[in-house]
Amino acid sequence: MENVRVRFAPSPTGPLHMGGVRTALYNYLFAKKHGGTFILRIEDTDQKRYVANAEQYILDSLDWCGISPDESPKSPGDFGPYRQSERKAMYQEYADLLISKGWAYYAFDDSESLASKRTQAEAEGGKWQYDASSRKQMKNSETLSKEEVDQLLKDSSDWVIRFKMPANDEINFSDLIRGDVNFNSAVLDDKVLMKGDGMPTYHLANIVDDHLMQISHVIRGEEWLPSAPLHQMLYRAFEWEAPQFAHLPLILKPTGNGKLSKRDGEKGGFPVFPLNWVDPNSGDELTGYRESGYTPAAFINMLLMLGWNPGTDQEMFNLEEAVQAFELERVVKSGARFNPDKAKWFNEQHLRNSAHDELAEQVQHLYKDQGREISTSQSMSIVNMLLDRVSFLHEMLNESYLFDAPNEFDAKTIKKKWKEQTPSIIVELRDELSQIDAWEAEVIETNFKLFLERKELGFGAVLPGFRLMLSGKGGGPSIYEIAVFLGKEETLNRIDSGLEIAKTWA
């Protein structure tokens, strides 16, 4: 496949939804798979909904995910500008071309008359739209004289340019995911292409920009499928070759009922945005995947599998593997249900497949952020002990007993496992431990088991009490590794202080 050029074209109207990130990811993978170019174009034609810091949020999100574009407002190439607001001057030329070719016309209807038409149709149990059947009853260049049109254009900017949709044409195209797609133009309205202020709507700007930027494949969300016939007609009107289209499935709520939204995340306690977002109007903060503790690799892997499968049982992919495996034909047509638990599972797997020294360095930084300096060896020990027990790296900071002797003890373990004879057994175990010279996990474990054999005791009679003394908890990582981490002196001291506190449990 030659000269593949794809684009991700979000609107800077708020934070980038994870569905948008998946669209960017699939574009990125397709481009890299075929040696092509991945472009970021900011579609900021809707100035009323424009949010100033949303563009930077989009760029930061893609950078964090590791799928930075080859061409963008930040890294321009030969096809700029990469913001539609900066391309405004060129769109009028193409709108005028459509008018001259008979594919578009000026319309001067005010909002009140349009609303009245819709209200009347609804009252009669129908639906009104501006189309081939109604345009002759409206105030536009199809019904007015040239002199009237020229005068209206001179006197006011309260006009729009509409596409002249044919009355009964078949519109057919092949979608790389959905196969053959067919529409009849009779059900389509005359969409607005440009407003009197010279700002184009999405439809005109999108087609013109894709053509001028030499986009070869348009990979976008399913929500744009209803717009595809208009876009096909625009390519026909301009006499341009249309790119290949591929419409991605929706990401659905965990229940499978409807599109995943911000509200679902708030209700379910999971993020739907890649990074934290602070609403510039309300000041409300929405939590992102990054701040929730997800690694970029896990987030990307999770998104990859939301709507695509490799045709094998493989679920774990790094970005390079994903590039090699990705095929648009393996994207599913139906919506992909989001599973928060599965998202956590991906993070767990990516953490456990990460280099321990890199994780240890991150753990050091996490502790430092909380005001505690720990050594590299301590950080490595924490990773080795806890990695298989956490979903997120920051959860390793929850084990406060690693640095501070417990002052609270698990009530259930005390009730079930702390018996009348337990204190005397722990005293004897302490004496056994005090004789150990090589304070290593294997040696501690061997001596512990020999102690059980000699005393003819089971693990359940001793291990829970020993764990309570060191951590205050009823479960956790290897108690022998905890003892090594604490050191011999601290281990013995905790047993002593724990036994004093245990006198109040009787």
Residues annotated as catalytic (active site), given as ranges? 262
CA distance 406 to 101: 81
CA distance 435 to 469: 18
Residues 429 and 446 in one domain: yes
Provide the total of helices (H) and of strands (E) in the chain, helices listed first. 20, 13
The end-to-end CA distance of the chain, in Å, is: 77
For the segment 176-188, what is each residue's pLDDT rounded down to a tens digit? Answer: 999 999 999 999 9
Task: Write down how long the chain is.
Answer: 506
**Mean local confidence (pLDDT), 132-154:** 96
Query: Structurally, how many domains does the chain consist of?
Result: 3
Residues 221 and 105 in one domain: yes
Residue 199 has pLDDT above 90, yes or no: no
**What is the CATH classification number for the domain harbouring 482?**
1.10.10.350
Residue 210 has pLDDT above 70, yes or no: yes
Structure tokens, 296: 């970029």
Structure tokens, 333: 């047509």
The secondary structure of 404-430 as a DSSP string is: S--SS--HHHHHHH--TTHHHHHHHHH
Residues 101 and 159 in one domain: yes
Find out whether 481 and 384 touch, Cβ atoms under 8 Å: yes
Pick left, alpha or beta for residue 494 (phi over 0 → left; psi -120 to 50 → alpha; otherwise beta). Answer: alpha
**Mean local confidence (pLDDT), 482-497:** 98
Structure tokens, 131: 């189309």
CA distance 364 to 369: 9
Residue that is last in its domain, among 248, 269, 286: 248
CA distance 124 to 118: 10
Residues 408 and 421 in one domain: yes
Residues 109 and 244 in one domain: yes
154 inside domain = yes
Handedness of CA 239, 241, 246, 250 (dihedral sign): negative
Residue that is last in its domain, among 229, 248, 267: 248
Total Cβ atoms within 10 A of residue 44: 21
For the segment 297-307, what is each residue's pLDDT rounded down to a tens digit? Answer: 999 999 999 99
Angle between the N-to-C axes of helices 479-486 and 488-502, in degrees from 0 to 180, rounded to the nearest 10: 110
Residue 16 has pLDDT above 70, yes or no: yes
Residues 361 and 429 in one domain: no
Residue that is last in its domain, among 209, 229, 248: 248
255 inside domain = no
CA distance 203 to 184: 18
Residues 432 and 372 in one domain: no
Q: Provide the residue range defining the domain that includes 224.
A: 85-248
Residues 500 and 474 in one domain: yes
Share of the chain above pLDDT 90, in %: 94
Residue keyed to tokens 């991150």:
362
Structure tokens, 460: 């359940």
5 inside domain = no
**Mean local confidence (pLDDT), 57-69:** 98
420 inside domain = yes
209 inside domain = yes
pTM for this structure? 0.92
44 inside domain = no
**What is the CATH classification number for the domain harbouring 362?**
1.10.8
CA distance 374 to 404: 13
CA distance 389 to 495: 25
* Amino acid code (one letter) for 393: L
Secondary structure class of 175 (helix, strand, coil): strand
Residue 49, pLDDT score? 86
Residue 105 has pLDDT above 70, yes or no: yes
The conformation of residue 504, written as its DSSP 8-state character, comes to G
Looking at the DSSP assignment, which residues form a beta bridge with residue 7? Answer: 39
Q: Which residues contact 35 (CB under 8 A, 6 or more apart)?
A: 4
Residue 282, pLDDT score? 85
Structure tokens, 113: 């008359």
Residues 238 and 91 in one domain: yes
Distance of CA 408 to the CA centre of its chain: 39
For the segment 4-14, what is each residue's pLDDT rounded down to a tens digit? Answer: 999 999 999 99
Residues 391 and 442 in one domain: no
Residues 364 and 220 in one domain: no
447 inside domain = yes
Residue 506 has pLDDT above 80, yes or no: no
What mean pLDDT value characterizes the chain? 96
CA distance 100 to 106: 11
Range in 35-39, 196-200, 335-339, 365-369 the model is least confident about: 196-200
For the segment 322-343, what is each residue's pLDDT rounded down to a tens digit? Answer: 999 999 999 999 999 999 999 9
Total Cβ atoms within 10 A of residue 333: 13
For the segment 253-300, what is each residue's pLDDT rounded down to a tens digit? Answer: 999 999 999 999 999 999 999 999 998 888 889 999 999 999 999 999
276 inside domain = no
Q: What's the maximum distance between 2 C-alpha atoms anywhere in the chain?
A: 110
**Mean local confidence (pLDDT), 18-29:** 98
Residue from 62, 69, 58 nearest 7 by CA: 69
Strands 5-8, 285-286: pairing is unpaired
Residues 219 and 114 in one domain: yes
For the segment 384-433, what is each residue's pLDDT rounded down to a tens digit? Answer: 999 999 999 999 999 999 999 999 999 999 999 999 999 999 999 999 99
Residue 1 has pLDDT above 70, yes or no: no
